[in-house]
Structure formats: structure tokens, C-alpha cells
């Protein structure tokens, strides 16, 4: 078990074990684990549930099942409590990102989230993500934080996803009523049978249940992200992970994350335009592992939005040398092509990014 960048999802059962406000009971050992990972040079993004549970006691709701507006008010007040609860376990700053499915589906917002996470990690901050429950209506929601964590792992290009809950892993039957239940330590293929087993173990386990955890694992492993379901209520679980042992269920990634991403960029994403590069930019991109700057672009073709895929073409011989995700739409790019990065702000009045195609969002197609 080796990882460089991981998303750690912490369920409500750990943040608010009795469902009445935040508790430090389990967070202390989780935070210690995160701190040790960071000290070893790994990057960590947290996806934390618990805002509704944390705010539950603070909003009067009259009936056992709160109305949507009462729940949204709970999330609003609970989110602050939950963030404050996390922050007290870290010496480094934490940051809050509240997103909805609508944000992750929109190319421009997707790339904004990606850039923000990249910047936060580069500044040694611990990003803490939750769904923006206060504004999200059902159609725009991911709905559960297991699937949200998988999407965050994708947008942040993590290589691993740890889903922490109060169960040890995935069992062939419900371990609470079947003492002979066996835990799978590795799952290579997520079959219908696995889904059926998980379906039987939902109810009072962590919010979302096992089903959403398997869905999340499926999304992640398809994109080269190793996924682990582990018991976050047992501190020895973290010692095992630090010893590179697997204490729960490991869903094995189909491909290495970078290979999966390159495949996706190269084969799955349709290009919506072309940027024509001068010889210096071609050399920088092909031979020096550099990002593409506006100064190296001599012309462009096609209509595209920020976040769309584009071809990088050698202007001298029309050869496609790379493919990547463009940070700007074609209208803005027409204004800044050939200019220095420092001029972007003056020309456009804003600067989304100093590079046009980030190195991490690019696949080089020639040697
Ligand atoms: N976003 C919800 C909250 O913070 C949690 C959703 C989930 O537990 O899956 O309360």
C-alpha cells in the first residue's frame, strides 16, 4: 500500500457518534493519522460528513423527521461546528470547500475546483470538502459523501481513497447477525454479487450504508484510484495503514492513476479545438515536461470552453504533439495568445491560471 495523494472520507458515525453534535472521540486518531501521512510527504484531502448531525440539537424541528428547510438549517450551523471540531486537531490551517453535483458536472467549475485544490495542497493546507447541503436540492446533489469522495478523488487526481466508517470492511454476509461472516481483504472485480451482499448491510451502519461505498469504489477504481474501506473507529487500523498493511477491504485499481488519466485524455475526450505552438513551446512541452504558457501560442482554431480538451499542434508542421485540458475558453484565449502570463490579468481583467494547459492535464503524443 503506497500512496502520494489520498482522499479520506469520514462518515457521520465518526464525526458525531451519538448524532447530537460533534465529538472528538474518533477524530483524534484520524487527525493523528493525517498528520503522520503529511509528515511522510503525502497529500491529504478530507471529505467530512456530519454537518446535519452536528447541527441537529441547535435547530428546533418538532417532529422526528425534520423538514428539508430544518435539515438545511442544521447543515448550515453544523458545518461551522464540524469545521471547528476538525481544526482543533491540526496545527496547520484547514480550508472548507462546499460543492454540489452541479458544480462537479460543470466543466468551468470543475476546473476551478481542481485549481483550488491544487493551490491549497501546494500551500500545505488541509482541504475539507462536504456537499453544500444548505443550497443543494435533490436534483443537484451527489446525495451521499461516499460518492462525493470518489468524485473529489477524481477531480483532485488522488491515487487512493480511504472510506472510513464504523465497519471493518466488506463481508460476505452481515457480520452483526452472522458470526461466521468473512471479510474480503481484496476485491478485484466489483460484481453484481458484491452489490447484493452490500445491499444487505445498509441500515444503521454509517450514513449512506455499504451500497454507496461500493458505488464510490467502482467510480474510483475505474479511474485508477485504489480504494479502501476501513474501520475509522479503531486507532490500530491507522497504525496498520502506516505500516503499509491493509486492515480492511481493498478495491484494487484497474490501472495506475496516471495511466488511466492519460488513457482518458487520449482516447475518451473529444478535442474541441487546436492551439498552434511555436518551436519553443513545442520543445518545452515535448522535451521539458513543461506546462503550456500563452506566449508560445501563435494561433488557435475551434470553439471551446474552459475545461474542454484541445490538441496542441506544432505550427511548423501541423503535427499534433499533445492533448490537454484548456484553462481558458477560445474567446479569452484569442486575447491572450502570444502574451506573457503576467499580462493575463491586465488584458482579461482576471487570471484563472497563469498556464493555458497545466502539465498534469496534458498527455504528450510524440517522443
Ligand atoms: N453531507 C451530509 C452531512 O454533512 C452527509 C452525507 C453523508 O453522510 O453521506 O451531514
Report the separation in Å between the CA atom of 98 and the middle of ligand 1, taken as the mean of its atom positions: 12
Contact 301, 330 (CB under 8 A): no
7: left (phi over 0), alpha (psi -120 to 50) or beta: beta
Closest C-alpha to 214, from 149, 301, 157, 271? 149
CA distance 120 to 242: 24
CA distance 221 to 250: 10
* Pocket of ligand 1 contains residue 48 by CB under 6 Å: no
CA distance 327 to 116: 13
| Nearest-CA residue for atom 2 of ligand 1 | 49
- Ligand 1 atom nearest the C-alpha of 146 is 9
Q: Report residue 75 as a C-alpha cell.
A: 447543515
Instruction: Spell out the per-residue pLDDT of the chain, length 367, in tens.
Output: 889 999 999 999 999 998 888 999 999 999 999 999 999 999 999 999 999 999 988 998 887 788 888 989 999 999 999 999 999 999 999 999 999 988 887 878 888 999 999 999 999 999 999 999 888 777 678 889 999 999 999 999 999 999 998 889 998 888 888 889 899 999 999 998 888 877 644 433 334 578 899 999 999 998 899 999 999 999 999 999 999 999 999 999 987 767 767 767 776 677 889 999 999 999 999 999 999 999 999 999 999 999 888 999 999 999 999 999 999 999 999 999 999 999 999 999 999 899 999 998 899 998 7
Task: Determine the pLDDT at residue 200.
Answer: 47
* Pocket of ligand 1 contains residue 361 by CB under 6 Å: no
Domain annotation for the chain: domains and CATH numbers: 5-257 (3.40.1160.10), 269-364 (2.30.130.10)
Max CA separation in the chain (angstroms): 72
Q: Which of 52, 72, 86 to mutate to test the pocket of ligand 1 (most atoms within 8 A of CB)?
A: 52
Task: Determine the pLDDT at residue 201.
Answer: 41
| DSSP assigned state of 124 | T
Q: Which residue has the cell 481483504?
A: 185
β-pairing, 126-131 vs 43-48, is parallel
DSSP string for residues in 136-200: --GGG---SHHHHHHHHHHHTT-SEEEEEESS-S-BSS-TTT-TT--B-SEESS--HHHHHHHHT
CA distance 124 to 145: 24
Report the separation in Å between the CA atom of 127 and the middle of ligand 1, taken as the mean of its atom positions: 16
Q: Report residue 31 as a C-alpha cell.
A: 487527525
* Pocket of ligand 1 contains residue 209 by CB under 6 Å: no
3-class SS of residue 224: coil
Contact 322, 282 (CB under 8 A): no
Q: Which residue has the cell 441537529?
A: 56
What angle do helix axes 27-39 and 68-87 make, rounded to 10 degrees? 50
Helices of type H across 6-67: 12-15, 27-39, 51-55
CA-to-CA dists, residue 23 to 13, 33, 104, 239, angstroms: 10, 17, 30, 22
Report the separation in Å between the CA atom of 352 and the middle of ligand 1, taken as the mean of its atom positions: 30
- Ligand 1 atom nearest the C-alpha of 145 is 9
Task: Determine the pLDDT at residue 68.
Answer: 86
Task: Determine the pLDDT at residue 199.
Answer: 67
Rg over alpha carbons for the chain, rounded to the nearest Å, is 22
Q: How far apart are the first and last CA of the chain?
A: 32
Report the separation in Å between the CA atom of 365 and the middle of ligand 1, taken as the mean of its atom positions: 42
Torsion of Cα atoms, 135 then 136 then 138 then 144, to 10° = -130
Closest C-alpha to 135, from 108, 100, 105? 100
| DSSP assigned state of 265 | I
* Pocket of ligand 1 contains residue 76 by CB under 6 Å: no
Task: Determine the pLDDT at residue 1.
Answer: 82
CA distance 283 to 304: 25
Q: What is the pTM of this model?
A: 0.83
CA-to-CA dists, residue 109 to 128, 343, 353, angstroms: 18, 23, 13
* Pocket of ligand 1 contains residue 13 by CB under 6 Å: no
CA-to-CA dists, residue 312 to 5, 83, 291, 315, 367, angstroms: 28, 42, 11, 9, 14
Burial class (CB in 10 A: 0-12, 13-18, 19+), 278: middle
* Pocket of ligand 1 contains residue 208 by CB under 6 Å: yes
Amino acid at each position: 500500500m503506497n500512496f502520494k495523494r489520498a482522499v479520506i472520507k469520514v462518515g457521520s458515525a465518526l464525526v458525531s457518534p451519538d448524532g447530537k453534535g460533534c465529538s472528538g472521540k474518533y477524530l483524534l486518531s484520524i487527525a493523528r493519522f493525517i498528520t503522520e501521512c503529511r509528515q511522510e510527504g503525502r497529500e491529504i484531502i478530507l471529505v467530512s460528513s456530519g454537518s446535519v448531525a452536528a447541527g441537529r440539537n441547535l435547530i428546533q424541528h418538532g417532529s422526528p423527521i425534520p423538514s428539508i428547510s430544518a435539515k438545511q438549517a442544521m447543515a448550515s450551523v453544523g458545518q461551522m461546528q464540524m469545521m471547528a471540531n476538525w481544526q482543533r486537531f491540526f496545527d496547520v490551517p484547514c480550508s472548507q470547500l462546499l460543492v454540489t453535483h452541479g458544480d462537479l458536472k460543470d466543466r468551468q467549475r470543475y476546473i476551478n475546483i481542481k485549481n483550488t485544490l491544487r493551490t491549497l495542497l501546494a500551500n500545505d493546507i488541509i482541504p475539507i470538502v462536504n456537499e453544500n447541503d444548505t443550497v443543494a436540492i435533490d436534483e443537484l446533489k451527489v446525495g451521499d459523501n461516499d460518492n462525493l469522495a470518489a468524485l473529489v478523488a477524481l477531480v483532485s487526481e488522488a491515487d487512493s481513497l480511504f472510506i472510513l466508517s464504523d465497519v471493518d470492511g466488506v463481508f460476505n454476509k452481515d457480520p452483526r447477525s452472522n458470526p461466521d461472516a468473512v471479510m474480503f481483504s481484496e476485491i478485484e472485480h466489483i460484481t453484481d454479487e458484491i452489490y447484493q451482499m452490500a445491499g444487505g448491510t445498509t441500515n444503521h451502519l454509517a450514513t449512506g450504508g455499504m451500497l454507496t461505498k461500493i458505488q464510490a469504489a467502482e467510480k474510483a477504481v475505474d479511474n485508477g484510484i485504489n480504494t479502501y474501506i476501513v474501520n475509522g473507529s479503531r486507532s490500530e487500523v491507522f497504525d496498520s495503514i502506516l505500516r503499509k498493511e491493509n486492515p480492511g477491504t481493498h478495491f484494487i485499481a484497474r490501472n495506475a492513476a496516471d495511466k488511466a488519466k492519460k488513457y482518458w485524455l487520449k482516447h475518451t475526450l473529444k478535442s474541441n479545438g487546436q492551439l498552434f505552438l511555436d518551436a519553443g513551446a513545442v520543445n518545452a512541452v515535448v522535451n521539458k515536461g513543461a506546462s503550456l504558457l500563452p506566449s508560445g501560442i501563435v494561433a488557435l482554431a475551434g470553439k471551446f470552453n474552459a475545461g474542454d480538451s484541445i490538441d496542441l499542434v506544432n505550427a511548423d508542421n501541423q503535427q499534433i504533439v499533445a492533448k490537454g485540458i484548456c484553462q481558458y475558453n477560445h474567446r479569452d484565449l484569442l486575447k491572450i495568445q502570444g502574451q506573457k502570463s503576467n499580462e493575463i490579468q491586465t488584458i482579461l481583467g482576471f487570471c484563472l491560471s497563469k498556464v493555458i494547459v497545466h502539465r498534469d492535464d496534458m498527455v504528450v503524443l510524440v517522443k
